[in-house]
Amino acid sequence: MREYARVAAAVPAVKPAHPAANLEGVKRLFDKAAAEGVGAVVFPELCLTGYTCADLFYMPSLLAGAEEALRLFIEHTAGSAGTLAAVGLPVRTGGRIFNCAALVAGGRLYGVVPKTYLPSTHEFYESRWFASALESTAGEVSLAGFTVPFGNDLVFAAGDAVYGVEICEDMWTANPPSTRLTLRGANVILNLSASNELVGKTDYRRSLVSGQSARCLAAYVYAGAGVGESTTDLVFGGHALIAENGTILAEGSRFGRDERLAVADVDIGFLDFERSANYAFRNAATTVGDVRRIAVPAPADAENSSGLRRRVDPHPFVPGADAERSERCEEILAIQSTGLATRLQAIGCKDVVVGLSGGLDSALALIVCVEAFRRLGLDMSGIHAYTLPGFGTTSRTKGNAGRLCEGLGVALETIDITPMARRHLADLGRDESVKDITYENTQARGRTYILMDKANQVGGILVGTGDLSELALGWCTYNGDHMSMYGVNAGVPKTLVKYIVGWYAEQNANVREALLDILATPVSPELLPAAADGTIAQVTEDKVGPYELHDFFLYHFLRRGASKEKILRLAKIAFAGEYEDAAIAKWLDVFMRRFYTQQFKRSCMPDGPKVGSINLSPRGDWRMPSDVAPQ
């Protein structure tokens, strides 16, 4: 399938009531869009005449001039069959004048869509000149030498991209035409608009565009009338927006006096994946009427023609803006601590046990415990923290665990598991010099065994530390650190764990030094002996690969339904200059193999709160057989 559709919102220079002059600007931007491999470009409302012609819309000369401009534009597109254009003009048919979008490609007119909802309050009075699509009784119209379908029930299919059209006010109503069009197969909505500028209106407009794209699980391409419109009473800024399922992909600047084109590649594959997995969307489709589907020329694949025209975020779980990231960290910690507090309250428990390694995940788990106790007004003496040094524990991690507990006002007890591990290896008839998986897991299971019993001893529950990334990779010891009585980090990917811990360090001076050093410490299970100089010898990312890559793979695989091949292409773009292509491919193979072979660990994972759009709980988000062959 063709994964991406390149779309554009065009804002040409406009002179009210001068179709011939307006045509030139439309032609220039169309040519630019076609040269950039755009599959569909939308122009502003009534762009061939200008939106602000007022009673001149009655004049036969203006209507004829608009039709002639459309005819010439259709001829102009003859050499660009792969670019569909939606241009605005007034159309008289059946004794009425309609505010319309004409859909043109490759020297042909394919259909005409009239506006459904006409604003006629305050500064708008469109019903003075135009009739609504609801008043039309004809299913087709003769225009510019073509007889084509006419109505607000048209969708235009260009291969996998299916375009629906609505005009300005149609989006602002309680029942936008785009809702029906998308429920009947349109995955990209083109909106020809003439929304004027008012204080605060830009943010509202942006939220409407992004919100409608999210509700419709679609892309939304919006082109607003520019500054050339009459300023008798209103000012137009030429706002151009492209959104995809609630996310703004591209936005043009307002109030510019030059012609502008906003371009982005929308992920058709992702949108179709979202719809197939969304029962409510499928169910809603049974409540709307049919549409007429019109085939139009399909362009070349956008990604292969000139590279991808959208940003590929290397850290999709982590907001880029400082303020948004801080807000996200605060919210996630609130979800985690509320989940734990509610569980404790529900079972009548005032004690928790948590094992501290001096690493990131256990640090976050302890912070969650502290915040949960604060929410419940419980004494911190109910938090029982243990550090359980073994064969590979370093003084750095053990020291950080102690400093963190001291800063949080939590008592820490040390239980050396080395004697127990040696006895167990001896019982197994194992030589301690053999540093294999049995050697490592003897320690991991031994720690969990002790922590579980400590929870019984104090009448509490064991709080798990494992995160979402580890669950995805199966990077945990079955019935070892894999198990707990409530896994507070189960919904948090490793890349985000780092930011939450860093954010908490900024907010709390008493633990800042300890947390910053924890952040600087290599991620390690510390199950193999330390290096000769006492530093960590066993680094997790040397074994399984960089977590930032795995989180990228996880996001695109589960959240966006991307194939392995697509993930690889996107990762090469996102991490260009940071990782060699061969390294990305290698670690993607590791991710896929481990994700499929480690499902058995996720099938019996403990309860834990979901905090984002991806979760691996077998009770909610992810169900998969445990014996599926790696893909």
Q: Which residues are catalytic?
A: 45, 115, 168
Half-sphere exposure of 236 (CA within 13 A, CB side): 28
- Integer Cα distance of 110 and 470 in angstroms: 52
Q: What are the tokens at 437?
A: 């998986």
- Integer Cα distance of 71 and 75 in angstroms: 6
- Integer Cα distance of 600 and 491 in angstroms: 18
- Integer Cα distance of 447 and 570 in angstroms: 40
- Integer Cα distance of 628 and 631 in angstroms: 9
Q: What is the largest CA-CA distance in the chain?
A: 100
Type of residue found at 249 = L
CA angle 264, 4, 240 (to 5 degrees): 20
Cβ distance 388 to 447 under 8 Å? yes
Cβ distance 287 to 524 under 8 Å? no
Type of residue found at 448 = T
Q: What are the tokens at 236?
A: 């137009």
Which helix (H) or strand (E) is 437 found in, with range?
helix 437-458
Cβ distance 410 to 385 under 8 Å? yes
Q: Which among 453, 447, 516 is positioned nearest to 482, based on CA atoms?
A: 447
Cβ distance 146 to 182 under 8 Å? no
- Cβ-based neighbours of 268, under 8 Å, separated by 6 or more: 1, 2, 3, 4, 5, 160, 161, 187, 188, 219
Tell me phi and psi for residue 384, to 5 degrees.
-105, 105
3-state secondary structure at position 535: coil
- Integer Cα distance of 240 and 616 in angstroms: 38
Q: What are the tokens at 193?
A: 């608009």
Which helix (H) or strand (E) is 328 found in, with range?
helix 322-347
Q: Which among 163, 165, 235 is positioned nearest to 201, based on CA atoms?
A: 235
